[in-house]
Structure 1
Amino acid sequence: MIKNFKKLTAIGAAVALTLGLTACGGSGGAAASAGSTGAAGTELASGSAENTSKSGQVFRTLDEIKESGEINIGVFSDKSPFGYVDENGDYQGYDIYFADRLAKDLGVKANYVSTEAANRIEYLQTGKVDVILANFTVTDERKEEVDFALPYMNVSLGVVSPSDKVVKSLDDLTADDPVIVISGTTAETYLIENYPNLTLQKYDTYANAKNALENGNGVAWVNDNTEVLAFASENDGYEVGIATLGSKDTIAPAVTKENQTLLDAINGEIKSLGEEQFFHKDYEETLVDTYGADYEDELVVEGGVTE
């Protein structure tokens, strides 16, 4: 039930402007919720954030989400195998498998909203989504703007480059060797802080970054190691010369600051799913074809407990 009609109208207008970026869809995977919404790219995010945090961010509480019957989840639509739209227009991937189960256990439909790396925080703070499940790496800087739940995956950075000129050390590069990154990612932040003399070619989407590498617009692409390993395995002529760059981090869901009821529910869900080894099942359903069984225990985090 919407308690504040004026606020609904204002937020509804803002959401309408982002029609091209929003979508609702359900995974066809084994964990798909019976209440997940249909094909991608057909509807706006439903519901309206009714609460405002001390910093001016808006959000819906767990009770309000349940009352609406839908949870708006920000996911990637072009980052296989974590979040992508298949040939039938349905969302698939590691994040989607988890999102479907989360929605099912909350007793609501999953309404998927396509997001890009650079606008994940914005979509939370403006109430366009209730939770982000878009391969979101936990960092101290991001903790100042959103609240992270328990982790469900390990990750670090990696570097992929053409096989005929493999980049094995960023120290070998100069300002004349452009490096591809995606805006708003930890890769961008890491390179700016640690390799300020490198020339960065920045792109807003994963699809554009991949196209740039394929078109020779950069000597290498720096991104999550899971992503560059997947790219190299799926595309002939490319090799991951640096499999681990910088520190090891974790991937976790994120909610708007002060949305404690939803944060508690997600943390409880992650702990409960850990008891049934859910994320190992998720890996085997969505990632094993890309990474093989050898990476499973290294990448998967069960119950929010890291080594």
Structure 2
Amino acid sequence: MKKLVSLLLTAGLSVSLLAGCGSQGSSNNDSANAEAGTETAGASVYRTLDEIKDSGKITIGVFSDKNPFGYVDENGDYQGYDVYFADRLAKDLGVDVEYVSTEPASRVEYLKTGKVDLILANFTVTDERAESVDFCLPYMKVALGVVSPDDALITSADELNGKTLIVAKGTTAEAYFSENYPEVNLLKFDQYADAYNALLDGRGDALSTDNTEVLAWALQNDGFSVGIDSIGNQDTIAPAVAQGNKTLLDWVNSEIESLAGEQFFHQDYKETLEPVYGTEVDIDSLVVEGGKLD
């Protein structure tokens, strides 16, 4: 596992993982029926920063089944990397937060239809997505990884030809393997929990998603390892708002920049990922402060 961690660092990932302890006044409502409006003739619907402040609540789309990034704990509370960040945003904005559970393929739709004001769900920045939403400053870098059983470890993408690779719909993993490895059979799921359960049940030979996620999952599940720690592009992860929502975009960007002064994301990492990854990882090689990439 030390070798995997070392390879992960070499890949140049920069993760700012945030511990998700629900803040005071936070609502853990899963409903997607936010007070953000409705879809109008295919155009994006959004609330401005002032409208969010006036309502006293911001709705944020997060994952509910993607530990340690966004998940619901045994008490029914949202926790994780993105959730901790979301709590801080709401606190500094002076409003409560309503969490809306989202699936990977629903993130763009939820912004365009006004079901959420902001997406904080491990959203990888791509040119295609940037045509539909506006991305804020990044808070981590990431590539794809592949996890598989130790007794049949996949160590190169070519080994997947003719085999079954499990992916979540609407992810960069789905897009990458569809385009670059057409001979790989993709088994697709809406929910990450279902995807990982399929791997545990032996319904696929391997699973691919962000390498930070598969590494964390492998550390928590005996008998599985990350045989491919970095494949595809080195991408960035960033919050996203509805296209044209400049007031909210500018405020989130300003917040990300200002948080660098207190090394906020370093502390987030220590509270969330360090218990998962251990102390062998050089935190400075993972954390991005102020949206600035080295």
TM-score above 0.5: yes
**Correspondence list, 1:1-307, <5 A:** 29=21, 32-37=22-27, 39-41=28-30, 45-49=33-37, 56-175=43-162, 177-293=163-279, 294-307=281-294
Q: Supply the distance in 2 between the matched residues of 1:36 and 1:84 (Cα, whole angstroms).
A: 15
Deviation at 1:181, TM superposition (A): 0.6
Write the distance in 2 (CA, Å) between the matches of 1:200 and 1:85. 27
Q: Which has the higher contact order (CA 8 A, sep 6+)?
A: 2
Q: RMSD over aligned Cα, in angstroms?
A: 1.7
Q: Match for 1:36: what amino acid?
A: S
- Give the Å deviation of 1:172: 2.1
TM-score by length of structure 1 reads 0.86
**Secondary structure of the equivalent of 2:292?**
coil
Instruction: Give the corresponding residue for 1:6.
Output: none
Instruction: Tell me the alpha carbon deviations over residues 101-158 of structure 1, each in whole angstroms, 9 at most, x when there is no partner.
Output: 0000001001100000010000000000000000111111111110000011111100
Partners of 1:50 and 1:60 within 8 A in 2: no
How far apart are residue 295 of structure 1 and its match?
4.9
* Cα distance, 1:270–1:210 mapped onto 2, change above 3 Å: same
Instruction: Read off the aligned partner of 1:168 and give its amino acid letter.
Output: T
Q: Percent identity at matched positions?
A: 62
AA partner of residue 121 (structure 2): A
Unaligned runs of 5+ in 1: 1-26
Matched-pair contact (CA < 8 Å) for 1:45–1:72: no
Structure 2 spans left out of the alignment, 5+ residues? 1-18
Which secondary structure state, in structure 2, belongs to the residue aligned with residue 58 of structure 1? coil
**Structure 1 range deviating more: 227-236 or 292-301:** 292-301
How many residues get paired? Answer: 275
SS at 1:120's partner residue? helix
Aligned mates of 1:260, 1:174 — CA distance in 2: 44
Instruction: Provide runs of 4+ in structure 1 moved above 4 Å.
Output: none
TM-score by length of 2: 0.89
Q: Is the 8 A contact 2:146 2:214 kept in 1?
A: yes
Shift, 1:227, TM fit: 1.0
